[in-house]
Amino acid sequence: MRRKTLLLFSLILLCLSTDSDAQPNPSPREIIGVDRRIDWSQAGIPGSIPNRTAFCATLNPGATAAQINSAIAACPSGQVVFLSAGTYNLSAGIDFAGKSNVTLRGAGPDLTTLVFTGNVNCWGQSASICVRNADLHWIGGPAHSTTWTAGYAKGTTQITLGSTAGLSVGSLLILDQDNDTTDTGGVYVCDTNTACATDTSSSSSSPGRNLNGVDRNQQQFVQVAAIKGTRVTISPGLYMPNWRSSQNPGAWWARTKATLDGIENMTLDHTTGGAKGGILFLNAYKCWVKNVKSLKANRNHVWLYQTARTVVRDTYFYGTQNALALSYGVESFMGSDNLIENNIFQRVTAPVLMGNSSGTVVGYNFFTDHYYDVASWMTTSIDAHDAGTGMNLFEGNEGNGFLEDNIHGSHNFATVFRNQFTGLEPGKRLQTNAIILMAHSRYANIVGNVLGTSGYHTVYEHSQASGHTGSPDKSIYLLGWSGVQGKTAGGMPYDPLVASTLLRWGNFDYVTKQAQWNSAEIPAGNAVPADRTLPSSLYLSSKPKWWGTMPWPAIGPDVTGGQDPSGHVYANPAQVCYNVTPKDSHGILIFNADRCYQQSPPAPRRTSGFNDLPLMPDT
């Protein structure tokens, strides 16, 4: 078994593609060391989204929210509640109310429309659609809680708990530990105002569990595979390298979880519903949103709240009711191993907002026309916003920028691979950077991206290390400051470790107008890659069938013939869908993913590496 595991470990991130246009792939040891990454191939639902064919109920326009809720409650496991073509005017929200293994499906987002004029209480939050467990247990009041006394090494699948009473095989276990109170110059998990956060409400707004007055933002959701006494086998293994006894590590879990619920093939209009969230997943596991058109949500279109292995894909998000703070597309607020893939975000203020999360993949999304009512200020397509983010992958996205802010704390080990970030939004001139890593955003991996805009960006890097002292707004990289305008803010000094721990390799930028294969951008203690060959993907084994005939990979220094001035970028499928889909008189897509993407089996995933323990079935 050990020999097999080592073999898989050595193969992780190798390209297994048989497509003629796929690129050869090097050993991962030549690019990103195993201490700085994980196996992302298992993000989302293991084995893909279920394709259910048995219908338990068919409803027609005129059906009420109560009738839809009753149909969901009565639906046998593994079946579909089908909403026929037409418009459903709903004066209340839809509540799965602890029901698992049910799909709510429409005839297509261009045929079935749900217009909400009311909402539902979703364990204290209002939502248009609530997917929740049967009994509320969360960070403020978990059903079970215990200490974690041994087994802290990165990758381990064996941990020892203080007690396993109430725990069973298949349980979803949430691991956490105290935040750091002292910055020792390494991995730093902190949400304390002025020490690592600029927002005076940081302590209350961050989602860390508070024990004895100390927040616990670092979390990982794992499934229990075996129990022997107080020794528990978990899957996947531990992601972060800084779990340790001095931080009072612990574990907690709810009695129930909403599992394998799906929402598919419909339009959701949230404009007048009064809900805070569009679709809210709370205490959910292995659920999904697919081929949905979501219009004008309030705080967010999809809220992944204390949720793991949930998929949001092939979906179109348009607009927000506000254009200032708290206006998000997909918001992650405690979670692990979620997959946000192949979506279109149009006129959303902050399209992907990462609260504390680990192992999540944000892949192959398209972002356009960010809606923000602060004159000249550009908001970014992807924003890590709360303390406790770690080991997340951002791959193949096409948008304006990537940001790890320090409004609510610190970040570690983000991997940004083969994205295009233009660093520009029409009409904006402030915060126009492709990559912003603010103070205490450490150990990031930026590899194989195409960054900036030709004729606009004039500065490669704004940091103390670079010596650039002018305006930061036309720089590709903005590194280490506590204020996004290249200065200190919130009482925090510049953080030199952001730049010194940053790994960069093979990124093309529009300042130097070339790809940087610079050994000086490999941090100390990391091997300089042996060559300039990049993997096609860090989580897919080959070109997915839904990609169609378009070039794969679509972005990178090794891509030629693309549509941007460098030739290194082709439009990904989400952008192509946006470009070819007709719009209505308001500029909103007449969207149906089935008309954009080739329907086929799920994307092939890489062979599992050190986290190769299979998931156990739910109990």
* Span 435-490, pLDDT tens digits: 999 999 999 999 999 999 999 999 999 999 999 888 999 999 999 998 766 777 76
Looking at residues 25-43, what average pLDDT do you find?
Answer: 80
Q: What is the CA radius of gyration of the chain?
A: 23
Looking at residues 140-146, what average pLDDT do you find?
Answer: 83
202: left (phi over 0), alpha (psi -120 to 50) or beta: alpha
Could you tell me if residue 372 is inside a domain? Answer: no
Could you tell me if residue 434 is inside a domain? Answer: no
DSSP 8-state symbol, 434: S
The CB density around residue 325, as the number of other CB atoms within 10 Å, is 12
The CB density around residue 540, as the number of other CB atoms within 10 Å, is 28
The whole-number pLDDT of residue 607 equals: 52
Looking at residues 178-182, what average pLDDT do you find?
Answer: 94
Q: What percent of the chain has pLDDT over 90?
A: 79
For residue 217, give its domain range.
144-253
Amino acid at 113: T
Could you tell me if residue 190 is inside a domain? Answer: yes
Total of domains in the chain: 1
Could you tell me if residue 158 is inside a domain? Answer: yes
The whole-number pLDDT of residue 602 equals: 60
Could you tell me if residue 97 is inside a domain? Answer: no
Q: Tell me what the pLDDT averaged over the chain comes to.
A: 89
Looking at residues 97-110, what average pLDDT do you find?
Answer: 97
Could you tell me if residue 286 is inside a domain? Answer: no
Could you tell me if residue 105 is inside a domain? Answer: no
Residue 373 — pLDDT band, cuts 50, 70, 90? Answer: confident
The whole-number pLDDT of residue 603 equals: 64
Question: What is the Cα–Cα distance from 445 to 165, expressed in whole angstroms?
Answer: 40
> What are the b/e assignments for 335-373, b being 16+ CB within 10 Å?
bbbbbbbbbbbbbbbbbbbbbbbbbbbbbbbbbbebbbe
Could you tell me if residue 204 is inside a domain? Answer: yes
Identify the H or E element spanning 576.
helix 573-580
Question: What is the Cα–Cα distance from 331 to 476, expressed in whole angstroms?
Answer: 26
The whole-number pLDDT of residue 56 equals: 98
Give per-residue pLDDT as tens, 384-443. Answer: 999 999 999 999 999 999 999 999 999 999 999 999 999 999 999 999 999 999 999 999
DSSP 8-state symbol, 11: H
In contact, 189 and 412? CB cutoff 8 Å: yes
Looking at residues 127-147, what average pLDDT do you find?
Answer: 86
Nearest to 441 by CA among 218, 204, 190, 233: 190
The whole-number pLDDT of residue 201 equals: 58
Lowest mean pLDDT among 46-50, 72-76, 363-367: 46-50
Residue 615 — pLDDT band, cuts 50, 70, 90? Answer: very low
